[in-house]
């Protein structure tokens, strides 16, 4: 990915640039919002790490300006960063249009996790599709996989879909509960269960994300796990919609509305 780091702290900038380069990304830096906008006007960046508080022009104002200046389908993903980590600070950043929020100091694990999540979301610019066709394609892919899994048996197919729709809220709840209790073993188990369920119905990208979370939890280090969990919540929602759009979808109660993910807020345009 081509990434822009907007941060007035030279130590933070240098750390971010080194981490990104070590993972094969191409990164540039800006010392404030004005420099960030100037860089974005000259070239395309797929993702921006945006510090909330900067001189001359802060992250909130810069984020709003990016939304205004970006052509449809060309806006970079914006990852907010702030030393102010209260819920109201996070909400302010997300409401301004940032796609994710990380509390400072931002460590290597958080950077890696948020990039891993958005890696599943990003495509080369020329390959991007409108949201409508993307969802249709996803439904078709799931349908083809389910037809193969069921051998074309309508009853089996309906059972597969119905079981997934009914169990998804429980699997998400297990992930959240394990993380809230900082139980890495339980989180790894819950992620493994989610991965198996997603793989069974053919949601490959979502299953990969669950696998990432499982590997992270097995290390015992839960830094960055919040981003992956929030990503899985978003993926489960997309898969749920795609399955319910299938003509064979079994009737299952919709999951109760969940709070907005704390660490990442996915925008429908990506």
139 vs 110 pLDDT, higher one: 110
DSSP state of 75: P
Give the pLDDT confidence score for residue 140 in this predicted structure.
58
Q: Domain segments of the chain: what residues?
A: 2-106, 130-244
| Distance from C-alpha of 78 to C-alpha of 205, rounded to nearest angstrom | 21
CA proximity to 1, closest of 93, 111, 95, 101? 111
Give the pLDDT confidence score for residue 121 in this predicted structure.
63
Give the pLDDT confidence score for residue 124 in this predicted structure.
45
For 3-49, write each residue's pLDDT tens digit.
999 999 988 888 889 889 988 999 999 999 999 999 998 899 999 99
For 240-253, write each residue's pLDDT tens digit.
888 888 775 444 44
CA proximity to 2, closest of 22, 28, 23? 28
Neighbours of 126 (CB within 10 A): 5
The mean pLDDT of 201-225, rounded to a whole number, is 83
> Helix 131-150 to helix 225-244 angle, to the nearest 10 degrees?
80
- Which range is least confidently modeled, 92-106, 108-122, 130-144, 186-200? 130-144
On the CB side of 105, how many CA atoms lie within 13 Å of its CA? Answer: 8
For 150-209, write each residue's pLDDT tens digit.
677 778 888 888 888 999 899 999 999 998 899 999 999 999 999 888 888 888 888 888
CA proximity to 2, closest of 57, 53, 39? 39
Quote the tokens at residue 116: 């891993």
pLDDT-derived band at 138, boundaries 50, 70, 90: low
- Is there a contact between 61 and 97 (Cβ–Cβ < 8 Å)? no
Q: In whole angstroms, how large is the CA radius of gyration of the chain?
A: 19
Would you tell me which CATH number, out of the four given (3.90.105, 1.10.3470, 1.20.120, 1.10.287), belongs to the domain 130-244? 1.20.120
CATH topology of domain 2-106: Rossmann fold (3.40.50)
CA proximity to 7, closest of 61, 99, 82? 82
The mean pLDDT of 47-71, rounded to a whole number, is 92
Q: Mean pLDDT score of the chain, rounded to an integer? A: 80
Give the pLDDT confidence score for residue 106 in this predicted structure.
85
Element (H, E) at 137: helix 131-150
- Beta strand 2-6 with 26-30: parallel, antiparallel or unpaired? parallel
pTM confidence score: 0.52
Spell out the long-range contacts of 89-95 with Cβ–Cβ below 8 A and sequence spacing 24 or more. 89/52, 90/262, 92/60, 93/52, 93/59, 93/60, 93/63, 94/260, 94/265
Give the pLDDT confidence score for residue 28 in this predicted structure.
96
Quote the tokens at residue 58: 């802060």
The fraction of the chain above a pLDDT of 90, given in percent, is 28
């Amino acid at each position: 990915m081509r990434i822009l780091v907007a941060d007035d702290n030279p130590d933070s900038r240098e750390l971010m640039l080194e981490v990104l380069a070590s993972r094969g990304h191409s990164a540039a830096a800006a010392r404030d919002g004005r420099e960030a906008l100037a860089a974005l006007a000259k070239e395309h960046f797929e993702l921006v790490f945006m510090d909330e508080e900067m001189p001359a022009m802060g992250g909130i104002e810069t984020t709003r300006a990016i939304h205004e200046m970006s052509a449809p389908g060309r806006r970079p993903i914006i990852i907010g960063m702030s030393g102010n980590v209260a819920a109201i600070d996070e909400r302010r950043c997300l409401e301004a249009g940032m796609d994710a929020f990380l509390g400072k100091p931002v460590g290597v694990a958080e950077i890696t996790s948020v990039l891993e999540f958005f890696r599943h979301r990003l495509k080369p610019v020329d390959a991007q599709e409108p949201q409508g066709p993307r969802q249709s394609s996803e439904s078709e892919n799931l349908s083809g996989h389910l037809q193969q899994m069921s051998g074309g048996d309508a009853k089996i197919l309906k059972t597969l879909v119905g079981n997934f729709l009914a169990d998804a809220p429980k699997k998400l709840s297990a992930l959240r509960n394990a993380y809230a209790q900082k139980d890495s073993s339980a989180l790894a188990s819950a992620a493994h269960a989610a991965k198996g369920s997603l793989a069974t119905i053919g949601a490959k990208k979502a299953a990969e994300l669950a696998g990432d979370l499982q590997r992270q939890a097995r290390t015992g280090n839960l830094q960055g796990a919040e981003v992956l969990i929030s990503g899985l919540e978003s993926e489960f929602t997309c898969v749920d919609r795609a399955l319910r759009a299938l003509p064979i979808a079994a009737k299952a109660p919709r999951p109760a509305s969940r709070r907005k993910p704390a660490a990442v807020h996915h925008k429908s345009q990506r």
